Chains A and B, each alone.
Chain A
Amino acid sequence: MMDDKNFNDIDINVHDYDIVLKIKDENDIAVSRQMAKSFAQKNNFSLADVTKIATAISELSRNIYRYAKEGYIYIKKKETEPGKDISIEIIAYDRGPGIENVERAVAGGYTTSQRSLGLGLSGIRRLMDSFYIKSEVGKGTVVVVEKRRRRF
């Protein structure tokens, strides 16, 4: 499973990423959260942004575990244009059942799970600086988010 993955227009080359994590059981949600937290801390993100990143990853990993059973989280540090600060990019990728109505899922307040607030995807979008989702029924889901570092 370590080869490059294609999901429509998204190409993921695993060698570009600082962290590649397979999500396959419940415990991996907490593991991904901890790894994201220490990665963001190591890259000098503010405490507020470390918390937002860790929370977003927690949501992404749970979505993978809950709906797709297994999938991957990719994390990397991105150097943007010179003079600008770095950012962290996170990709959540799975070949699960996909989301029937992506717009409704991202709008928030909607869930197909009984034990959920339905605020995961909408929350991630609000916490991050950029948010991209592609999902196809029967194929899977990929979510790409990015958080820029802010200095105070």
Chain B
Amino acid sequence: MKTKVVPTIKLYDYLIVPIQIELDDSTIEKLQMQLLNEISERKIRGIIIDVSMVDVIDSYISFVLSETAAMAKAMGCYTVICKIQPQVALTLAQMGIKLKDVFTANSLEGAIDILNQLD
């Protein structure tokens, strides 16, 4: 496996992805590839992306997150975005950006509950 942009944790069939770095365009694109590879190689059925440390999510980052979730779905894997900061949620809503193909949760436990219900 190539170097990972974000270190991930496998829990059951789920992959926890805590993003703690600045999401520039090439980083988010690399992360997309990394996650698709991990879904396939590690037999992942659910991805939990923790964005509690991400303080800007703009239209392109939103686009790539939704696109990644759609790709993951095609591979039989659901995506939950977890712990969006209040001011980020406010900004996304005001811009009229909707995160498509993803589930959202406000805690890791909530994210796992969502994935368990989907199985």
Contacts and interface: CB of A to CB of B under 8 A. Distances in A.
Interface of A: 26-27, 29-30, 33-34, 37, 47-48, 50-52, 54-55, 58-59, 62, 108, 115-117, 119-120, 122-124, 126-127
A116 B63 CA distance: 6
A27 B94 CA distance: 26
B59 A120 contact: yes
17 contacts: A26-B25, A27-B24, A29-B24, A29-B25, A30-B24, A33-B56, A51-B56, A51-B90, A52-B91, A54-B56, A55-B57, A55-B58, A59-B58, A62-B60, A117-B59, A117-B60, A123-B59
A47 B87 contact: yes
B55 interface: yes
B19 to A, nearest CB: 14
B114 interface: no
Dominant SS among interface residues on chain A: helix
Contact of A116 (B23, B55, B59, B88): B59
Nearest to B58: A58
Dominant SS among interface residues on chain B: helix
A115 B94 contact: no
Given A126-B96, A127-B91, A127-B95, A37 B59 contact: no
Contacts of A115: 60, 63-64, 67
A54 to B, nearest CB: 5
B62 interface: yes
Contacts, number: 80
B96 A58 contact: no
B55 A37 contact: yes
B94 A126 contact: yes
Nearest to A34: B22
A42 to B, nearest CB: 16
Contacts of A34: 22
Closest 7 CB pairs between A and B? A123-B95, A30-B24, A51-B87, A58-B58, A48-B87, A119-B59, A117-B59
Contacts of A26: 24-26
Interface in B53-90: 55-60, 62-64, 67, 85-88, 90
B88 A30 contact: no
A37 B97 contact: no
B69 to A, nearest CB: 14
A33 B55 CA distance: 10
